[in-house]
Amino acid sequence: MTIIAGTPAAPDKDWWRGAVIYQIYPRSFQDSNGDGIGDLKGITARLPHVSALGADAIWISPFFPSPMKDFGYDVSNYTEVDPMFGTLSDFDALIAEAHRLGLKVMIDLVMSHSSDQHAWFIESRSSRVNPKADWYVWADAKPDGTPPNNWMSIFGGSAWHWDPTRMQYYMHNFLTSQPDLNLHNPEVQDALLDMTRFWLKRGVDGFRLDTINFYFHDKELRENPALDPSRRNASTAPAVNPYNFQEHIYDKNRPENLDFLKRFRAVLDEFPAIAAVGEVGDSQRGLEIVGEYTSGGDKMHMCYAFEFLAPDALTPSRVSQVQTAFSAAAPEGWACWAFSNHDVVRHASRWGAEIQDRDAYVKMLAAVLMTQRGSICIYQGEELGLTEADIAFADLQDPYGIQFWPEFKGRDGCRTPMVWDAQALHAGFSTHDRTWLPIPIEHQLRAVSAQYGDPDSVLEQYRRFLAFRKQHPALAKGEMELLASEGSLLQYERRYGNEIVLCVFNMAPEPASAEPPRGDWEVLEGHGFQSMVEGNRINLPAWGAFFARRA
């Protein structure tokens, strides 16, 4: 008998399409060494939770060396691990364990800016003639000594900071300690692409690109025009920030970015089955930019804008409006949707602060999110129904919140440590006497241990619905047809191959009834929602949902 070895299955290059990506904020996931701050070994130890939840991939926020003025989004070395989080060996072990559990690993790349402590910037600011003099965005002052133009920083004030060594201003879209890289310089692009290859060779499966539309600035440094007050939107920056007073057409969103994204995609395509998702931060042109960046199959695999991360209440009309706008702006594109992340108020509070049965509400929202056309991101703690923590000013860490307190309290309220064991010190997150951010008692009561195995819990509903989603490919990869929605009812069909799944949601605290489209429908079970069909009517309880498959 001759035994012929089978050919290994080719990796699925489309694994990202319809994937569920679980975002991990490493400072707050699990502390393994008792210093009050989460780390890579802690993430590795808790990966079984993510796997059991039913996610396909993890996205890890930055863990690179950093002075932590913006908690890792100010990188001082792109190819190392900050000792606070561990070592490269710890990262390799994390990759191995994730892959053993069937999880893809995506990491956060911050390429629009670095820390002012990065070796590149230290050299760049040393003189106007050094080899890296043009690696950052430098400009002379106006004759009166004021900044080169009117560009604003998202973190408040001018986007220009005076450097006495070079006797020039440098640009910073964020903190003054986060100078913008000059991607007009091909050497900068090459260095960033080499860094990308470094992590791909270590086994990562993809990237989340921070502030992807901020990579390029207008070479002529033209001034941004004022934005009509009627068009101001607080989703990119808080309403109290004058950043919202400008139309940002020259300090970001530049057309040169398309060619760089093609170069970036070509690097990804050197490796099998890699995917990237870009964060598009723009209140006026977000979906249009997503369309540009995901078209043609030669740039981003997927992007997300801030439509579902904005303060606007989630209603049937809002969901329909966003999906219709996305289809028009990005007919070739693929979105990645999220309701919460490390930069916005948790949606259980942002939309549900006044809702009496908040658990039922967030369960319904989870089903809405998981049935959108696109991939989805779940932010750690969302599966527990965690609310925004109320952090006292004395405990604030976020420079954004400190700058605009008390009108805007910053991002610490969504970044508090993950809660694992309701009975343990600091909910099992750390053995240190103090955690980097305090853990609210109401979070501790919602720990994984308190919800695991309870069929009525938010956690078990997430697990149940993610399993249901995997059973029906139409919900993950299918096209979406919006149906007529009235009042509190949201209705659409997801279509993939021969499968058509009807999704109906009651987005109100009172019961409602709906009439399905004509035809024969098989009522689907296993999703955790209860509804009653009487004749040709579907009766849904408050915050209810109904799913059926065309027979």
Convert the pLDDT of each residue in 226-274 to its tens digit.
999 888 876 678 788 899 999 999 999 999 999 999 999 999 999 999 9
Per-residue pLDDT tens for 185-224? Answer: 999 999 999 999 999 999 999 999 999 999 999 999 999 9
| 255, HSE (Cβ side, Cα atoms, 13 Å) | 0
- The answer as to whether 158 is a domain residue is no
Q: Which two tokens stand for residue 205?
A: 């499966």
Q: Which helix (H) or strand (E) holds 366?
A: helix 358-370
- The answer as to whether 30 is a domain residue is yes
Domain final position from 440, 468, 496: 468
Model confidence at 10: pLDDT above 80: no
Q: Are residues 494 and 433 in the same domain?
A: no
Sign of torsion over alpha carbons 152, 154, 160, 161? positive
Q: Are residues 31 and 108 in the same domain?
A: yes
Asked if 40 and 90 count as a contact pair (C-beta separation under 8 A), the reply is yes
Model confidence at 4: pLDDT above 60: no
CA angle at residue 302 from 301 to 303, to 5 degrees? 140
Residue 270 annotated in active site:
yes
The predicted pLDDT at position 237 comes to: 80
Q: Which two tokens stand for residue 82?
A: 């900050």
Nearest to 346 by CA among 279, 424, 442, 282: 442
Q: What is the DSSP letter of 255?
A: T
Per-residue pLDDT tens for 85-119? Answer: 999 999 999 999 999 999 999 999 999 999 999 99
Q: Are residues 208 and 258 in the same domain?
A: yes
- Separation of alpha carbons 536 and 532, rounded Å: 11
- Separation of alpha carbons 534 and 511, rounded Å: 14
| Average pLDDT value for residue range 338-364 | 97
Q: Are residues 452 and 530 in the same domain?
A: no
Residues in CB range of 509: below 8 A, 6 or more apart: 355, 356, 357, 542, 543
- In the chain, count of helices (H) and strands (E)? 14, 19
The predicted pLDDT at position 234 comes to: 66
Residue 12 annotated in active site:
no
Q: Under the phi-then-psi rule, with left for phi > 0, alpha for psi from -120 to 50, and beta for the rest, what region is 365?
A: alpha
Alpha helices in 242-329 (DSSP H): 257-268, 286-294, 316-329
Domain final position from 442, 468, 494: 468
Asked if 307 and 288 count as a contact pair (C-beta separation under 8 A), the reply is no
Residues in CB range of 518: below 8 A, 6 or more apart: none
The predicted pLDDT at position 283 comes to: 83
- Separation of alpha carbons 277 and 154, rounded Å: 22
Asked if 152 and 164 count as a contact pair (C-beta separation under 8 A), the reply is no
Q: Which two tokens stand for residue 456?
A: 């009525």
Active-site residue, selected from the candidate residues 92, 270, 454, 510:
270
Model confidence at 284: pLDDT above 90: no
The predicted pLDDT at position 490 comes to: 97
Cis peptide before 406 (omega within 30 of 0): yes
- Banded pLDDT at 71 (limits 50, 70, 90): very high
Q: Which two tokens stand for residue 22?
A: 């679980």
495-522 residues labelled b (16+ CB within 10 A) or e (exposed): bbeeebbbbbbbbbeeebebebeeeebe
- Separation of alpha carbons 105 and 128, rounded Å: 40
Strand pairing category for 168-171 and 138-139: antiparallel
- Separation of alpha carbons 321 and 187, rounded Å: 42
Q: Are residues 459 and 485 in the same domain?
A: no
Per-residue pLDDT tens for 331-344? Answer: 989 999 999 999 99
Q: Are residues 501 and 530 in the same domain?
A: yes
Q: Are residues 512 and 411 in the same domain?
A: no
- The answer as to whether 361 is a domain residue is yes
Domain final position from 429, 449, 468: 468
- The answer as to whether 138 is a domain residue is no
Could you list the residue range(s) of the whole structural domain that residue 363 is in? 20-112+185-217+252-468
Q: Which two tokens stand for residue 151?
A: 């560009």
Question: How many domains in the chain?
Answer: 2
The predicted pLDDT at position 1 comes to: 47
Q: Environment class of residue 393 by beta-carbon count within 10 Å: exposed (0-12), middle (13-18) or buried (19+)?
A: exposed
- In the chain, the percentage of residues whose pLDDT exceeds 70 is 98
Active-site residue, selected from the candidate residues 90, 116, 210, 412:
210
The predicted pLDDT at position 3 comes to: 47
- The answer as to whether 341 is a domain residue is yes
Poorest-pLDDT segment among 24-28, 65-69, 118-122, 241-245: 241-245
Q: Are residues 495 and 356 in the same domain?
A: no
- Averaged pLDDT of the chain: 95
The predicted pLDDT at position 9 comes to: 65
- The answer as to whether 178 is a domain residue is no
The predicted pLDDT at position 233 comes to: 74
Per-residue pLDDT tens for 473-521? Answer: 999 999 999 998 779 999 999 999 999 999 999 999 999 999 999 989 9
Residue 92: φ, ψ to 5°: -60, -40
The predicted pLDDT at position 484 comes to: 84
- The answer as to whether 164 is a domain residue is no
Model confidence at 6: pLDDT above 70: no
Residue 441 sits in a domain whose CATH number is 3.20.20.80
Q: Which two tokens stand for residue 95?
A: 């990759």
Residues in CB range of 473: below 8 A, 6 or more apart: 18, 496, 497, 499
- The answer as to whether 405 is a domain residue is yes
Q: Are residues 414 and 521 in the same domain?
A: no
Nearest to 178 by CA among 265, 277, 62, 300: 62
Residues in CB range of 4: below 8 A, 6 or more apart: none
Residue 522 sits in a domain whose CATH number is 2.60.40.1180
- Separation of alpha carbons 410 and 398, rounded Å: 6
The predicted pLDDT at position 7 comes to: 52
- Separation of alpha carbons 290 and 270, rounded Å: 24
Residues in CB range of 529: below 8 A, 6 or more apart: 363, 364, 367, 544, 545, 546, 547
Q: Environment class of residue 165 by beta-carbon count within 10 Å: exposed (0-12), middle (13-18) or buried (19+)?
A: exposed
Model confidence at 149: pLDDT above 50: yes
Asked if 480 and 324 count as a contact pair (C-beta separation under 8 A), the reply is no
Q: Under the phi-then-psi rule, with left for phi > 0, alpha for psi from -120 to 50, and beta for the rest, what region is 537?
A: beta
Asked if 141 and 169 count as a contact pair (C-beta separation under 8 A), the reply is yes
Q: What is the DSSP letter of 460?
A: H
